[in-house]
Chains A and B, each alone.
Chain A
Amino acid sequence: MKATSEEVQARVKKLFKDGSIAHFIGYETGSDGLRVTPCFLKSGQAASRLVWNPLCANNLSKYLLDFKNVEGKVGIIVKGCDSRSVVELLKENQIDRDKVFIMGVPCSGIVDREKLLEVLGVSPGEVVAVEDDGDAFLVTLKKGKKRVDKEKVLRGECLVCKYPTPVVYDVLLGEAVSSLPWVGDDYKVIKEQEALSSEEKALYWNKELSRCIRCYACRNVCPVCTCPECIFDKKAPHWLTKANDISENLFYHLVRAFHVAGKCVDCGECERACPMNIPLRSLNKKVEKDLLELFDYTAGIDVEQQPPLTTFKVGDLDESL
């Protein structure tokens, strides 16, 4: 059985009632039938606003940072990927496990809004609801229902997701999902890019990153970007100017990719937030692949596991020292 909005609502009401939580971070319906928006509750009264469906793309875990100094426990709903960024926040002591109540929901893939609209050939206003239906999404339109194969309309990160069920939680709603049938080689695209020559890589990334408008949405939405003051915002030393050119854009994105190395859990939020359609996941995915190959390390699985870039072993590769 999959978790439903009603189940989430009932559980949140109960959690408020028995005093387990003082706040809750969840999803509610947004501007149209294909959008959800983060929802912050202080009591169970408005819990009926909460929804859980295959449109709930936002990784809400970053908001936990805002509750660090707030009285009482905060509840949060997390998918598999979101829970992995919670693990990273815990590893870094960014949040206190005792102050967080984690409501896990196994996830069988999130809809890519733009892909769905294209496949259906409709405008967002015509969509009433989207439900999970096994290997397809069941889309309720104003005029009738349509089944759409998941593989055609899933978000990129969901197509390669190996952790559909949260890895950390206090309560799990719905049955655990052990694996997703469509997931194959999650580094296919990266391997193709690795095969390019340095010149071809430079050409590709210069083209993609020249579109960047440096709105910093990718950084701000990133659940593992937690510095209170980012180096890109610092005025002294002024590492990065606001000038928009390829040199500054490249510097920004490469430094960011290295800063989240070993912490990125491929939740896909950077790419989802980017208004300019820059394939940002590829940068992080490459670093993720290297970490796996060099250190047999995968981020966001185990709170006790130390990130390779913050630990030292005598047997470490010399070339990195």
Chain B
Amino acid sequence: MTSQTKSRIIEKGKLTKLLDKLAHDYHLIAPVRDNNVSFRRVESGSEVTLDYINTVLSPKNAFFPQTETLFRFSRDNNGGLGLEQDDEADREHVIFGIRPCDARSLRLMDMVFNGQYKDSYYLNRREKTTLIGLACFDPAETCFCPTFGIDPASGEDVDILFSDIGDRYLVEASTEKGAALLDRFAEFFDKLKGDEEQLRENKKAGLVGMKKLDVKAIADKMAPLYEGDYWDSIGMKCLGCGICTYLCPTCHCFDIADVSLDEGGERFRCWDSCMFPEFTLMASGENPRPNRKARVQQRFFHKLKYFPDRNGEVACVGCGRCIRYCPVNIDIAKIIEDVTSGKAGNE
């Protein structure tokens, strides 16, 4: 995908200055260390850290914010109703430092928000954002992105990929949008020295032995597990908190609610989680997913069966966040292994 002509390098010493410039010209979102590392708006390059494996929260917030006002309403003096929508800032956004797994997750989210129903809020942000990826050469042990055909050193789902090859970054544009951005900031980049490919190959040694599971037939293998007791012990363990869904870069369920005071209010949408009992609670008091087992089962069926049935892809990118942060160690990689090996049906 990447033609040699679009490849450049940037000396490490120049990176902060480039980020300064990006922060000036764009709405720049980058990883910042403040207690933990997370993506947030930065005003200068010095705020950015690149010393992390991956962030606790995925950058999905930049496209699908945890809480977002859809519109405001008010009563005017004549008793009429006023509706007001926030103008989306017309500034272009740049996300710097997104990992290949998280970049792939956006492609999966696109299938939802850019499917039959076009979600303008999400799509506006997607369109206005340039993704600058950071190749991953030192994955965590909970990482298993190769399972989903993701190459942690590739720029397949980003506009530009930065690869740390020692004293400099190899910089490759993989889209027109990315190439245009590189041209615009050409002063920061230099020509290749010639040893970059070799240096990158050396770095890739860190990726050897990454967990790669076979998920080809997973949707079919999930089907018979709808009945049976495989989910009993997992549901038993599950606390029903929202860590896995909120940290997941592909989970996209939301709720919509109004808050109003006398003179007006707003309608907002916010993340919701299938792990919460009231997620499926009906006005009648009936809850079709009445217990933790039913909810935990739904989460894995959505990821491993319904989403692939609908979109041809498993709704997981192997980022490992849910594994690392689950307080009771429910492990999606182990569940995938149990399902594909047939162990799940025999418990």
Interface check A220, CB cutoff 8 A: yes
- Interface on chain A toward B: helix, strand, loop, or mixed SS? loop
- Segment 7-41 of A: residues with Cβ below 8 Å from B: 30-32, 35-38, 40
In the complex, whether B180 has a CB less than 8 A from a CB of chain A is: no
A249 vs B47: C-alpha distance in the bound complex, in angstroms? 26
**A contact residues around B255 at 8 Å (CB):** 242
Contact A123–B277 (Cβ < 8 Å): no
On chain B, the residues within 8 Å of A273 by CB distance are 239, 241, 243, 327
Q: Is B281 an interface residue (CB 8 A)?
A: yes
List of A residues within 8 angstroms of B226 by Cβ = none
Number of interface residues of B (CB under 8 A): 41
Q: Are A217 and B242 in contact (CB under 8 A)?
A: yes
Query: Could you tell me if A243 and B259 are in contact, using CB atoms closer than 8 angstroms?
Result: yes
Answer whether A58 and B273 are a contact pair too, CB < 8 Å, given A215-B242, A244-B67, A276-B56.
no
| A71 beta carbon closer than 8 Å to chain B | no
Q: How many angstroms between the C-alpha atoms of A109 and B330 in the bound complex?
A: 24
Q: Tell yes or no: B71 within 8 A of A by CB.
A: no
Q: Indicate if the CB atoms of B328 and A220 lie closer than 8 Å.
A: no
Contact of A4 with B by CB under 8 A:
no
A178 nearest CB across to chain B (Å)? 30
Q: Which residues of A contact B237 (CB under 8 A)?
A: 37-38, 40
Q: Does A31 lie within 8 Å of B323, measured CB to CB?
A: yes
Residue A277 CB within 8 A of the other chain = yes
Q: Could you tell me the distance between the alpha carbons of A291 and B283 in the complex, rounded to whole angstroms?
A: 40
Task: Across the interface, name the chain B residue whose C-beta is closest to A126.
Answer: B141
Considering the chains assembled together, what is the distance between the CA atoms of A124 and B331 in angstroms? 15
The chain A residue with its CB closest to the CB of B244 is A215
How would residues 212 to 224 of chain B score, 1 for a CB under 8 Å from any chain A CB and 0 otherwise? 0000000000000
For A45-82 the 0/1 string (1 means CB < 8 A from B) is: 00000000000001000010010000000000000000
Contacts of A241 in B (CB 8 A): 257, 259, 270
With A37-B329, A277-B36 already in contact, the answer to whether A242 and B277 are too (CB < 8 A) is no
Q: Per-position contact with B for A266-281: 1 when CB-CB < 8 Å, else 0?
A: 0001001101110000
Residue among A36, A213, A219, A220 making CB contact with B57, cutoff 8 Å? A213
B20 at the interface (CB under 8 A from A): no
In the bound complex, residues from chain A placing their C-beta under 8 Å from that of B271 are 242, 244
Most buried by A among B259, B277, B328, B330: B328
Q: Bound state CA distance, A276 and B273, in angstroms? A: 17
Taking CB atoms, residues of chain A closer than 8 Å to B330 are 37
Cα separation A313 to B233 with both chains bound (whole Å): 46
| B243 neighbours in A (Cβ, 8 Å) | 215, 217, 273, 275
* Assembly CA distance A276 to B246 (angstroms): 11
CB of B12 within 8 A of chain A? no
Does A167 sit within 8 A of B, measured CB to CB? no
Asked if B121 is at the interface of the complex by the 8 Å CB criterion, the answer is no
Chain A, residue nearest B270 (CB): A242
A272 in complex: contacting residue of B247, B323, B327, CB < 8 Å: B327
- Asked if B341 lies at the interface with its beta carbon under 8 angstroms from chain A, I say no
User: CB distance B239 to A220 under 8 Å?
Assistant: yes
Q: Which chain B residues border A276 with CB–CB below 8 Å?
A: 35-36, 56
Q: How far is the CA of A220 from the CA of B237 in the complex (A)?
A: 12
Give, as a whole number of angstroms, the nearest-CB distance from B213 to chain A: 14
Bound CA–CA A66/B334 (angstroms): 25
Give the shortest distance, in Å, between B332 (CB) and chain A (any CB): 10
A233 at interface by CB-CB < 8 Å: yes
Residue of B at shortest CB range from A32?
Answer: B141
Could you mark each residue 210-245 of chain A with 1 if its beta carbon is under 8 Å from any beta carbon of chain B, else 0? 010111110111000000000001010000011111
- Which residues of chain B come closer than 8 Å to A219, judged between CB atoms? 241
A58 and B327 CA atoms in complex are apart in Å by: 8
A216: chain B residues at CB < 8 Å are 241-242, 276
CB of B236 within 8 A of chain A? Answer: yes
Our count of residue pairs bridging A and B at CB distance below 8 angstroms stands at 95
Across the interface, do B272 and A242 meet the contact criterion of CB distance under 8 Å? Answer: yes
A221 B141 Cβ-Cβ under 8 A:
no
CB distance from B117 to the nearest CB of A (A): 21
Q: Is A125 an interface residue (CB 8 A)?
A: yes
Chain A residues closer than 8 Å to B272, beta-carbon distance: 242
Whether B273 lies near A244 (C-beta < 8 A) is no
- Distance, CA A35 to CA B329, complexed state (A): 7
Residues on A with C-beta less than 8 A from B140 are: 123
B268 within 8 A of partner (CB): yes
Q: What are the interface flags for B239-261 relative to A under an 8 Å C-beta threshold, 1 for contact and 0 otherwise?
A: 11111011100000001010100
Asked if A233 meets B276 with Cβ closer than 8 Å, knowing A215-B242, A242-B255, the reply is: yes
B202 at the interface (CB under 8 A from A): no
CB of A217 within 8 A of CB of B239, answer yes
A281 smallest CB distance to B (angstroms): 15
Is the CB of B66 closer than 8 A to any CB of chain A? Answer: yes
Cβ of A36: which chain B residues have Cβ within 8 Å of it?
Answer: 329
Q: How far is the CB of B275 from chain A (nearest CB, A)?
A: 9
Chain A residues positioned under 8 Å from B36 (CB to CB)? 276-277
Tell me if B92 is interfacial: C-beta within 8 Å of chain A.
Answer: no
Bound form: Cα–Cα A275–B155 in Å: 29
Kindly list chain A residues whose C-beta atoms are within 8 Å of the C-beta of B142: 31
Asked if B190 is at the interface (CB within 8 A of a chain A CB), the reply is: no
Return chain B residues, CB-CB under 8 Å to A31: 142, 323, 329, 331, 333-334
A244 vs B328: C-alpha distance when bound (angstroms)? 25
Q: How far is the CB of B343 from chain A (nearest CB, A)?
A: 15
- Residue of B257, B273, B278, B329 touching A215 (CB-CB under 8 A): B273
B185 beta carbon closer than 8 Å to chain A: no
Q: How far is A272 from B326 in the complex, measured between Cα atoms in Å?
A: 10
Q: List 5 A-B contacts (CB under 8 A).
A: A30-B331, A58-B328, A216-B242, A220-B240, A275-B247
B interface, CB within 8 angstroms of A: 35-36, 56-57, 66-67, 140-142, 233, 236-237, 239-243, 245-247, 255, 257, 259, 268, 270-273, 276-278, 281, 323, 325, 327-331, 333-334
A contacts, CB < 8 Å to B: 30-32, 35-38, 40, 58, 63, 66, 123-125, 211, 213-217, 219-221, 233, 235, 241-245, 269, 272-273, 275-277
